[in-house]
Amino acid sequence: MNIGIIGCGLIGKKRAKSIPAAHTIAGVCDIQMGRANELALMTGCRFATDDYKKLIEMPGLDLVIVSTLNHLLAPITLYAVERGKHVIVEKPGGICSKELLPVIEAAEKNHVVVKVGFNHRYHPAMLKAKEIMEKEETGEVMFIRGRYGHGGRVGYDKEWRADAALSGGGETIDQGVHLIDLARWYMGEFEEVDGFAATYFWDMPVDDNGFISLRKKDGRAAWLQVSCTEWKNMFSLEIYCKNAKLSIEGLGGSYGVEKLYYYQMLPEMGPPDTIIYEYPRGDKSWELEFQEVEEAVRTGKGLKMGDIRDAYEALKIVEQIYQKEKKEK
């Protein structure tokens, strides 16, 4: 495939590195030409521009990767999809769910793949947990408890994420969509949404903590908390099933070695049998995510997981949290 990358910052570079050599990076784009030229040099690409429309309209372009600030994700994706291009767009896909409705419609009309960057699904511990739940007798998921946090950095409250017009909100829309997406992946749809978003530390008009409660009609639930006041980066996702518990800790790097603890309940109860899976070899989720897009485009069978509708559902939940906060104020 001939691929174009729009947004040449940290994420754009990560995406470029995840593309197998069999494909060609035909063009790159960034509003800062210096960054576009830097990525072009890094990838051997001969076309760099600051106009995303010029890139998307390049003859023979098959796939567009959109890794811009949040407020540009949906408009650029829509422009590409309307012109028959497949797209990988970073999470959250847009700043509100309403933005994604024309993208969904255009993708169906033009028969193109639109993948949203919920790369956490492709982490080895997440995949192994899903495999265990599907192949072994873990029983029905009763509830999920998830925590995800980082500590920010000096000046964090002056960056683009602190501007709701650019980001769509704070920590709830930033890291919160990952936990929401994982909860939906493991448990399915939720009918009740509660919780709140708050700003405790950073001097910014968006939330630095989000507390999310999701419930299904039968009462099963997920409790999720995201934070940029964690100070020590952490990730924890606990899946409580009727016959077992699956606990995922760490994501690699500053979040600690990624591990999956599989606790198997015994008939006599008491301490469970425990299997520990450890994944010290780094994050390959970006590569796996690209491979799925590659297969979906090649076969025409569509994505197995993480498409634009998943982003739409996650953003609807985020919006309900933010709306509750506005009403209380």
Instruction: Residue 248: name the closest of 256, 257, 238 by CA.
Output: 238
- pLDDT tens per residue across span 283-301: 899 999 999 999 999 998 8
pLDDT at residue 136 in the model: 86
CA dihedral 283, 288, 289, 295 (to 10 degrees): 170
- The answer to whether 2-117+286-306 and 124-282 have equal CATH topology is no
Q: End-to-end alpha-carbon separation of the chain, Å?
A: 50
pLDDT tens-digit map of 197-220: 999 999 999 999 999 999 999 999
Residue 329 banded pLDDT, cuts 50, 70, 90: low
Question: pLDDT by residue (tens digit) across 95-130?
Answer: 999 999 999 999 999 999 999 999 999 999 999 999
Whose CA is closest to 147, among 232, 264, 216, 257? 232
Looking at residue 183, its pLDDT comes to: 98
CATH topology for 124-282 is: Dihydrodipicolinate Reductase; domain 2 (3.30.360)
Structure tokens at 51: 């106009």
The backbone torsions φ and ψ at residue 214, rounded to the nearest 5 degrees and listed phi first, read -120, 135
Task: Record the pTM.
Answer: 0.95
> 211 near 225, Cβ under 8 Å?
yes
* Residue-level pLDDT at 302: 87
What homologous superfamily does CATH list for 2-117+286-306?
NAD(P)-binding Rossmann-like Domain (3.40.50.720)
Q: What percent of the chain has pLDDT over 70?
A: 99
Look at strands 234-241 and 192-198 and give their pairing. Answer: unpaired
In sequence order, the 6+-apart residues with CB closer than 8 A to the CB of 153 are none
Express as a percent the part of the chain with pLDDT over 90.
93
- Look at residue 195 and tell me whether its pLDDT is greater than 70: yes
Mean pLDDT of the chain: 96
Is the per-residue pLDDT at 324 higher than 90? no
Tens of pLDDT, residue by residue over 236-257, are: 999 999 999 999 999 999 999 9
pLDDT band at 25 (very low <50, low <70, confident <90, very high): very high
> Which has the closest alpha carbon to 94: 119, 117, 111, 64?
117
Domain boundaries, the chain: 2-117+286-306, 124-282
Taking residues 140-156, what's their average pLDDT? 95
Sign of the C-alpha dihedral, residues 145, 148, 293, 22? negative
Rounded to whole angstroms, how far apart are CA atoms 183 and 143?
9
Strand order in the sheet with 141-149: 192-198, 209-215, 221-227, 141-149, 234-241, 244-249, 258-264, 273-279
